[in-house]
Amino acid sequence: MKRLGYSILIGAGCALLIFGISKLQENKRKKGGLSDVFKKRSSAKDAYYSAELKMAFGDPGHNSELIEKTKEQILYRLRGSYSGISLEKIDNLNYRLKANKIFDTTVFKNAITASGKIEFSELFSLNEISGPLETIDSVLRNRDADFLTRQKKIEETKKTLDTATDKLSDILDHTELETSQPEAGLAKFIAFTPVTDMSPRYNAELGYVKTKDTSHLNKILNDPEISRLFPGNLEIVYGSMNIDLYSNDSMLKIFAKKNLDRAFFPYPTGDQIKDASPEFDPYSGNPIILFEFNSQGSQDWYQMTLRNAKKPVAIIMNNNVLTAPFVEEAIEGGESRITGAFSVEEATLLSKTIVAGELPLATRITETSFTYHSSKNFGLTLIILILFVLASAASYGISFLINPAPKP
């Protein structure tokens, strides 16, 4: 029995050794050549989706040439990241798209519907628009106070009418209204970034807003009484956060984009980017996007970064701020990068989207069907099991050669 027990232990040890070597090789592949990492899906992924979507390009009046160009750009984005891709026409407007090996369904849908418009913009700092923000805050506080006063008056009036027969005019004359309720103004929606004299850098974001509050905040900021208080070239845009400050509510960064006349203030455009590729940040190890401008774009990027030295600039795609890097000094050579909380899949697709350019026609997904698949690595499991049996049997046999069993 001891001989058999030792043999089983040896077999288990060999199996564990092979398992460890396989994981080590997998990690080496992850840290090795970037082209391998971005072109091949990690074998560690053991769950994925297949998709069948119904989609439409543009409107009935759009010509076939624009539709074909839109189709090709979408297929370019998807190729190399997913398998089994097919796009077939259903009728004049609708197409059926099929794809396999999808690990993030949201990223996949964004790759299809995102316009691909990329912008480079200067930003207003919190200090630059502190005056308008204070005025807006005051307007909102007054509105809230007036609203509460009216509500209080109505409540008190109803309550008194229920318990007395006095005339309405007498009630209104003698009702004491509480108008000193503390109001939050803009702080209801925005957690402003603290600004101090000791701050070494110009903050890119004004603050943070809960995702669920953005529609209400946009309605307030687009109110003519409010919007006229801002500079005429200011536009509010949002960007995803790298971390979640609040566990229960998703948050967005809020930025004040500065729209400038390009004739007087040169800045690059998305169509001036000649190449983009996913890479890893050598310091953090996170996926990033490297991109390169053509000659005119390089000149415009230099002028923009020269104007904004010691300030941030925003890189915006589909009206969402991808990143707002701080410019230490003017950037020459036309090369730069986009950082953010990207997955490998996102970085790959964003790079392709940048290279492909803006879609000629808007794309809509009208029907969605995702099928979940679990893909366990049965091959490695089988090899380890076979190795365990063979190693155990071999060690058991060798033990008899080294130490034969006693004769009966």
d(CA 364, CA 35) in angstroms, rounded, equals: 32
Q: Are residues 381 and 369 in the same domain?
A: no
Local confidence band at 353 (pLDDT 50, 70, 90 cut-offs): very high
- Above 90 in pLDDT, residue 41? no
In the structure encoding, which two tokens stand for residue 353, read together? Answer: 């989207």
Q: Are residues 326 and 194 in the same domain?
A: yes
Q: Are residues 55 and 31 in the same domain?
A: no
- Above 60 in pLDDT, residue 378? no
Q: Are residues 341 and 262 in the same domain?
A: yes
On whether residue 56 sits in a domain, the answer given is yes
CA dist 39 → 78, 279, 282, 312 (Å) = 12, 12, 19, 32
Amino acid at 252: L
* Run of H or E residues at 19: helix 2-31
d(CA 89, CA 75) in angstroms, rounded, equals: 14
76 backbone dihedrals φ, ψ, rounded to 5°:
-60, -40
* Mean pLDDT score, 316-328: 92
pLDDT at 349 (0 to 100): 93
pLDDT at 182 (0 to 100): 41
Q: Are residues 255 and 340 in the same domain?
A: yes
The bridge status of strand 234-240 relative to strand 320-323 is parallel
In the structure encoding, which two tokens stand for residue 76, read together? Answer: 């370019």
Buried b (16+ CB within 10 A) or exposed e, 157-179: eeebeeeeeeeeeebeeeeeeee
On whether residue 61 sits in a domain, the answer given is yes
pLDDT at 341 (0 to 100): 82
The bridge status of strand 83-89 relative to strand 207-210 is unpaired
pLDDT at 399 (0 to 100): 57
On whether residue 28 sits in a domain, the answer given is yes
CB-based burial label for 264 (10 Å; 0-12, 13-18, 19+): exposed
With CA atoms as reference, report the closest residue to 35 among 80, 101, 102: 80
d(CA 7, CA 172) in angstroms, rounded, equals: 96
* Mean pLDDT score, 125-136: 90
Average pLDDT, the chain: 79
On whether residue 71 sits in a domain, the answer given is yes
Q: Are residues 347 and 234 in the same domain?
A: yes
Secondary structure of residue 47 in the 3-state scheme: strand
Q: Using CA of residue 308, residue 310, residue 314, residue 315, what is the dihedral sign?
A: positive
On whether residue 145 sits in a domain, the answer given is no
What pLDDT digit, counting tens, does each position of 154-191 carry? 666 666 656 555 555 554 554 444 443 444 688 888 88
In the structure encoding, which two tokens stand for residue 319, read together? Answer: 């009206």
- Above 80 in pLDDT, residue 331? yes
Residue with tokens 């080590």: 24
* Mean pLDDT score, 190-218: 81
Q: Are residues 249 and 335 in the same domain?
A: yes
3-state DSSP helix/strand/coil percent for the chain, to nearest 5?
45, 25, 30
Q: Are residues 257 and 351 in the same domain?
A: yes
Q: Are residues 10 and 103 in the same domain?
A: no
CATH number for position 302: 3.30.1360.200
On whether residue 284 sits in a domain, the answer given is yes
What pLDDT digit, counting tens, does each position of 81-126 carry? 999 999 999 987 789 999 999 999 989 999 999 999 999 999 999 8
228 backbone dihedrals φ, ψ, rounded to 5°:
-70, -15
Query: What is the pTM for the complete model shown?
Result: 0.71
* Mean pLDDT score, 10-20: 59
pLDDT at 109 (0 to 100): 93
- Above 80 in pLDDT, residue 45? no
What pLDDT digit, counting tens, does each position of 134-155 carry? 999 888 888 766 555 666 666 6
pLDDT at 28 (0 to 100): 45
CB 377 within 8 A of CB 46: yes
9/34: higher pLDDT: 9
d(CA 232, CA 224) in angstroms, rounded, equals: 12
CB-based burial label for 305 (10 Å; 0-12, 13-18, 19+): buried
CATH number for position 57: 3.30.70.60
Domain count, the chain: 3
Local confidence band at 26 (pLDDT 50, 70, 90 cut-offs): very low
CB 107 within 8 A of CB 349: yes
What pLDDT digit, counting tens, does each position of 366-375 carry? 999 999 987 5
Q: Are residues 273 and 368 in the same domain?
A: no
d(CA 233, CA 271) in angstroms, rounded, equals: 23
On whether residue 255 sits in a domain, the answer given is yes
What is the domain extent for residue 61? Answer: 47-114+360-374
Q: Are residues 69 and 193 in the same domain?
A: no
Q: Are residues 327 and 382 in the same domain?
A: no
d(CA 113, CA 171) in angstroms, rounded, equals: 59
On whether residue 17 sits in a domain, the answer given is yes
* Mean pLDDT score, 23-46: 46
d(CA 53, CA 369) in angstroms, rounded, equals: 6
Question: Residue 262 gets which letter from DSSP?
Answer: T
- Above 90 in pLDDT, residue 58? no
Half-sphere exposure at residue 353, Cβ-oriented, CA atoms within 13 angstroms? 23
